[in-house]
Structure 1
């Protein structure tokens, strides 16, 4: 089963908004065992949109269109699909009632062009919009399948999950063997190094398949197989997972699509451990990352953003002669990172204290280059571990990589002990 995603909107071509819908839909379709071969972006033009639909139908079995369902004259997606299929449009009564209730609730008159949002293609299935006004559509014609979704992600995603996905399972995948996948998450290793360790598995793959994905500071592998039942699939997936884990046990932190910070919070909660942090160049990014995890309050007790030397001295008792002076190591040093980690751990009274200090860039600081970062982990009753990092990238990348790296080393310490 092949699919094509057609994103409609001149604003996409102008770069005014990012086409995040295509990324979401590609991941969702892959999880259903549907291969996305093409992604197309087309402007709000009837002729070009019709050409894109005709071309997509020649290449793919399933076309998913996002955008162009709104009330204005340049919202042309339903008209274009109807024209290509030789269909007419009609007002869907339930969608129209929803639009009427919306304007009545606001106490404002409805302009006539809002009726366009209730249009539906003859012979198709209206897809209710739980978070907006424009109704979606799904239609099967001549062995091809067409799904029309709104452009705004906060409308598109709920409609796909609640309406389009069940329609695909019922009408499109009736004769397809189900696809089952397992996500493996790695930290502390780059995509190229990970691929090298698994090269023979990747080269010889047949079933299950192995697909790596890289993000800043972490790598994900999706292993997938087709099987008649979930238990049959898991036998194959578990066997491959065990082989990968045996090669990368120091980097495989989760067998599921979860971030490393959640893995850490879950582990520390289970072990009854607590954590604090002192941040300089990352400016609170580490603490923000940790506290996005629900339940983190039982583990992360607090921290300090000590951006200036004065704050390092005043709040964390870093000696002045360590920070400034002709022979001082400076704020960006292993010595300062160690003191920060140890002091924040003692002040907040936690089992672990983390510290990050360095140069995020873009220029030099203390005659030290951007990307030079020191991270430290202080453990109650144990030695403090300090690591020097030499990172590449812009300011945001250096801050993010510093955060992900210290989380990886914290995970290793918790796991190994």
Structure 2
């Protein structure tokens, strides 16, 4: 079963914003057993949107359309879905009551133009949006080539996430109940280049008698090289010997498995305590890694400088981590105290070439998280 994702918005095609929704929706659909053949983005152009719908319908059974449900003149996704599906738009009074109630309660004027958010193709199921004024909708569409489940959603990522939790999952789960689920195993390796990691993995994969039952992929996201093996659940017993072989072969360079994020785990450990970060070596990379997860925590502070103090400065401090250069920056001295447990490590550089010094900063950032999470 294939599901494609169509994003509508000139702000995406011009590069003003990034299409986060396609990534997020895909990550939710794949574990349910759906394949994702296409992510497609089009501007606010009626002709191109209709062409995109026709193109995606030829090779999809499910279609997710995001954006273009607002109250302005460039929001006409619902009109085009109506035209494309052959279902006339009908006014939905409960949606209009909700729009008025939401705007009035927040002190915003209610404009007549906002009524356009309350029209939906006949036969569609309205999806109430608790995080905005634009309700989504779901309908089945019959085309000359296919029968599709079509989900039309507002553009803001927070609203899509809310709709998924409040309405979409309860609709989608029964539809996907009999699909064969996809399993993906992953290894985040550190300190070794992509070609070397691939050499290790392919040494096992090429000899594996059932390699047609799986997909192997690699992704570099500094400083990691990620290895992924995907297979359907019904092939689990066949593929498991290869998974175990690769797990053992990569053990000496693996720091996280199955999409675990060390920055997220670190933030969870720190959410209920006062904690201070001292970064004198990564140039802000540690902050960049942790900030998306720490932004909802208020009990932490940050100190960053290219001028490192002596390590004994931290002798009396509690609940902190300090990243200090050592041996002219060729090594990192990592010190931390967490709830009375205090440790320090001297971390060697993974890269000796002067051209790789920036990559060392990424490496030291992740090694600090690795050692801290071994608490």
TM-score scaled by length of structure 1? 0.71
* Aligned residue pairs, count: 355
Q: Does 1:28 align with 2:59?
A: no
Q: Within 2, Cα distance between the matches of 1:187 and 1:388?
A: 9
Q: Does 1:403 align with 2:369?
A: no
Which of 386-395 and 99-108 deviates more? Answer: 386-395
Q: Which residue matches 2:192?
A: 189
Q: Which residue matches 2:349?
A: 387
- Does the Cα contact within 8 Å between 1:2 and 1:36 map onto a contact in 2? yes
Q: Does 1:376 align with 2:333?
A: yes
Q: Which residue matches 2:304?
A: 305
Larger RCO of the pair (alpha carbons < 8 Å, separation 6+): 2
Alignment of 1:134-173 (within 5 A): 134-142=134-142, 143-171=147-175, 173=176
- SS of the residue corresponding to residue 134 of structure 1 reads coil
Q: Which residue matches 1:323?
A: none
Q: Within 1, Cα distance between the matches of 2:316 and 2:302?
A: 9
Q: Which residue matches 1:43?
A: 43
Q: Does 1:115 align with 2:115?
A: yes
Following TM superposition, by how much is the alpha carbon of 1:283 offset from its aligned partner in structure 2, in angstroms? 4.1
Q: Which residue matches 1:257?
A: 259
- Tell me which structure has the larger Cα radius of gyration: 1
- Does the Cα contact within 8 Å between 2:31 and 2:181 map onto a contact in 1? no
- Does the Cα contact within 8 Å between 1:281 and 1:357 map onto a contact in 2? no
Match of 1:215 among 221, 224, 232: 221
Q: Within 2, Cα distance between the matches of 1:37 and 1:31?
A: 15
Q: Does 1:104 align with 2:104?
A: yes
1:99 and 1:406, CA in 2 relative to 1: closer, same or farther beyond 3 A?
Answer: same
Q: Within 2, Cα distance between the matches of 1:284 and 1:278?
A: 10
Q: Within 2, Cα distance between the matches of 1:305 and 1:53?
A: 50
Q: Within 2, Cα distance between the matches of 1:351 and 1:35?
A: 44
Following TM superposition, by how much is the alpha carbon of 1:89 offset from its aligned partner in structure 2, in angstroms? 1.1
1:19 and 1:243, CA in 2 relative to 1: closer, same or farther beyond 3 A?
Answer: same
- Does the Cα contact within 8 Å between 2:277 and 2:320 map onto a contact in 1? no
What RMSD, in angstroms, separates the aligned Cα atoms of the two structures? 3.9
- SS of the residue corresponding to residue 44 of structure 1 reads coil
Q: Does 1:354 align with 2:323?
A: yes
Specify every segment of 5 or more residues in structure 1 that has no aligned partner in the other structure, as ranges.
270-274, 318-341, 359-367
Q: Within 1, Cα distance between the matches of 2:60 and 2:364?
A: 43
TM-score scaled by length of structure 2? 0.78
Specify every segment of 5 or more residues in structure 2 that has no aligned partner in the other structure, as ranges.
337-341
